Structures are given as C-alpha cells and as structure tokens.
Amino acid sequence: MDKNEIIKILGDWNFWDKDLNTGINRPYYLNKIKNFHESSHIIVITGARRSGKSFIMRQTAKTLIEGGIGKNNILIVNFEDPRFVELNTKTLQQIYDVYLEFLNPQEKPYLFLDEIQEVKDWEKWVRTIHELDKAKIIISGSNAKLLSRELSTLLTGRHLDLVIFPLSFKEFLKFKNMDLSKRFEIVNKEIEIKRLLREYIKFGSFPEVVLGGEKNQILLNYFEDILNKDIVRRFKIRKSKELVSLAKFYLGNISSLITFSSLERTLNISVDTVEKFSRYLEDTFILFFLKRFSYKFREQEKSPRKVYAIDVGLANTIGFRFSQNMGRLAENLVFLELKRKEMLASNLEIYYWKDVNHREVDFLIKEDLKVKQLIQVCWEVNRPETKNREIRALLKAMKEFNLEEGLIITDDYEAEENIRGKKINYIPLWKWYLKEDK
C-alpha cells in the first residue's frame, strides 16, 4: 500500500488532529485496563461483536491523553476498515513504519490493534514488537479461542485478558441517564428502574441497541454479522443453513438443558456437526454452555448442559416471544451477571446443580474448593406449586453443601423465610443488580 494512503486511513481512527467519538465511558473496564497498564504484559480484549470493545479502546486512549501521554504516542488501527485490502504481517509492519515516520513518537508508543484476528499471522508480529520492548500493546478480537490458542502458544505469561460484555444493568441505567450514586435515589426512582428493567429484558444491552431506534433490525443485523463474519467466513463453513438452524434453536431455548445427541434427532444434523458448530458459537461469545456440578469429572462432562445467550434481546428477536418467557430471560440475565464475575476471578466457578431425583438449582457458585452460594431464579413465586418446587430443590442442595442460606431471585417479591432451620432470602431482580456489593 502507498504510505500516503495508509496515513490517511490511520488519521480517521486517531486523535492526532481531532477528537473522536468515545461514547459513554464504562469505568469498570477502564479501571481494569488502567491496572493492567502497570505491568509490561500485552492486554488482550475479547468479547462479542458490538459489545463495545472499540469504544473502550478509544476511551482508554483518551484517558491516556488526558493523563499526559502525547497524542502522537498513541496509534489506533481498525483492521475491519475495508480500505486495508490485504492484511498480513507485512502490512502490519508497513502500518507501524508509516506511523513512526509521520508521527515521530517521542516515547514508547501505545498500539491499539482492533479486531486483530483479521490479520494473518498477526501473533508473530505482536510477539516480536513486545519482546523487543518497542511498544505497549493492546489488542482486541471477537473470537475467544482464536486468540487464546495463538496466545497460549506464543505469548505464554506475557498477556492479560479482559472479556467485554454488553452492558450490565448498572451500565444500562447510566446509558439511560439515571444517576443512582446516592442510595436514597434508588428508593425514589423504583418505578422508573422497574420500567427500565422491562426494557432491558426485552431488548437486551448491546450499547448501540440501548441508545438507538429500530432495535429489532439492529439485533437481526448483529446475528447475521456474527454468523457470517465471525464463523462462516473464518471457518469456511459450507453448511451455513445448519449453523443458522442450530443458532436459532439455541436462542429459542435459553436457560434450557441440552445434549448434542438430542439435537441430532431434533434438527437432523449430525452430532459431530452439532458439537463443532456449538463450539464456534461459544467461541464467538454468542452463546455459553453451563455444566452441571459434580465432584466426578466424567459425570460432569456427560451430563446435559444449560445454554445461555450473550444478550436476551438477541434471544427475543431470533428465538421466541418476549412475554411468554420472562422466567427464562431473567435466569439468562442472572447467568450473565455471574459470568462477568467468573471471568474476572480465577478462583470463582459457576455451575447448575441437579440430583438423582431431578431436583434442580439454577446456579451453584464455587470459590476455590468450597461451594459458597446457591441461587434460584423464580419469576412466578406467587404460584404455590412453583414456589414449593424451587424451595425443595434449594433446601436439598443447601443440606448437601452445608449452607445456612439460599437465595431466590424474583420479579417483585421480597421476603425472608426460615424453613427447617435454613434461611431463604427472596429478592427482586432489580434490587439484586443494585446491591452495593454487586
């Protein structure tokens, strides 16, 4: 490529001579990245397409500039810019050389390499720049396994990972201009918070969807982009119709138990293909699969898994009708909040629990070697048969793991009950989200 063309492209994505739109700050992730910068490691940002990775990279760059780093010492490259015709290590080096020539950074530069998986053999170039200590490197990508496989092979011990999710409920409220910095404001705005929770459950929390109109159309476009750009094109899939059928099935059955063999019969897709495509869907963060808790590894691996979506708005748009599945949607939201925590704490693991009598608890949280908490999600706790079923399963699991308290997350019911010497706490979903320790 011509160097003048390269610098023109780079100029559109950098702060050198103008301000860029950085969106609404997400301090939670910015603080994590700030802490990471104190090390000499490569920072790896992953997450679903459109979850906000690019904006967080820009926000990080702007924070550095506000902290005294010169604008010329920061390079942002968006590798999804179609003007980059051929992307390989030669192009990467050329981009870097042009940047050095035109901007002449006076200190060790910060390199923000966005959607790096678009570049063939990128990891070799990144490793070389890092080992020669020529720059501080922050990379992003939309495929967990693609990055982790290459990084674990070539960058062992040299990188720190951060997974970006669509907006948490607290972030969602901030995007809706609701300030809850003072605790008494939560009480005063309870009705509005509940209304916004309904919107959050219906349309999900991708930033662009939260802020924009035509929400369903945006979500449909996301679904097509994730499947076509991140899976079909990257893995050269010929059976794209089968992939779409499987993805739609999963999104229509969130918070449900599945086995690959049962899907072979249901969808008429070979079990090997189901397993392979499921792995791709998980690698691109569109879905998660939750394992059953067991001290026996073989039993854990053989048991059905529960499927959850990265975004409930996506599930509503692609999978099923919103009003008929509030319980499943609420359970999916609780899973996502727990998953955020699991990905940031190396000693935290989440599972579901089920015994031989098919009593089931939605979430079991294990810290280190000890089971610390059990959580049920029960949207229709006012129905006696439903409430009793959830309590029976929770009490059985509490007894098995010697826990004195259990938690049931509800639509709007709040109470505390003592049953057979065990405490059951009921809390509405919105209050659970906004607890001070969350």
Give the residue numbers spanning the domain of 64. Answer: 3-164
Q: What is the pLDDT of residue 239?
A: 85
Q: How many CB atoms lie under 10 A from the CB of residue 267?
A: 15
Same domain flag for 242 and 357: yes
Same domain flag for 129 and 241: no
Which tokens is 215 given? Answer: 């929400």
Element (H, E) at 264: helix 260-267
Same domain flag for 227 and 90: no
CB 58 within 8 A of CB 14: no
Same domain flag for 155 and 196: no
Q: What is the pLDDT of residue 177?
A: 92
Same domain flag for 184 and 102: no
- Low-confidence winner among 64-73, 227-236, 352-361 (lowest mean pLDDT): 227-236
Residue that has been written with the tokens 């982009």 in this structure: 225
| Full DSSP string of 1-46 | --HHHHHHHHHHTSSSSS-----S--HHHHHHHHHHHTSSSEEEEE
How would residue 160 be classed by pLDDT, with cut points 50, 70 and 90?
confident
Q: Is the pLDDT of residue 438 over 50?
A: no
| Cβ partners under 8 Å of residue 119, min gap 6 | 79, 87, 88, 89, 91, 92, 113, 125
164, 187, 207 - which closes a domain: 164
Same domain flag for 188 and 68: no
pTM for the full model?
Answer: 0.92
99, 131, 164 - which closes a domain: 164
Q: What is the pLDDT of residue 153?
A: 63
Mean pLDDT of the chain: 92
Which of these, 11, 142, 160, lies nearest to 75 by C-alpha position? 11
Question: Which CATH number do you get for residue 78?
Answer: 3.40.50.300
Same domain flag for 259 and 157: no
Same domain flag for 69 and 106: yes
The residue type of 351 is Y
Same domain flag for 56 and 121: yes
Same domain flag for 122 and 234: no
Buried b (16+ CB within 10 A) or exposed e, 5-43: ebbebbeebbbbeeeeebbeebeebeebbeebbeeebbb
Note the pLDDT tens digit of each residue in 312-344: 999 999 986 655 689 999 999 999 999 999 988
Same domain flag for 186 and 228: yes
Q: What is the pLDDT of residue 323?
A: 56
Rg (the chain; Cα; Å):
23
How many separate domains does the chain show?
2
Tell me the HSE value of 40 on the side-chain side, using a 13 A CA sphere. Answer: 9
What's the mean pLDDT in 233-251? 92
Same domain flag for 49 and 179: no
Q: What is the pLDDT of residue 156?
A: 59
What's the mean pLDDT in 219-248? 92
119, 142, 164 - which closes a domain: 164
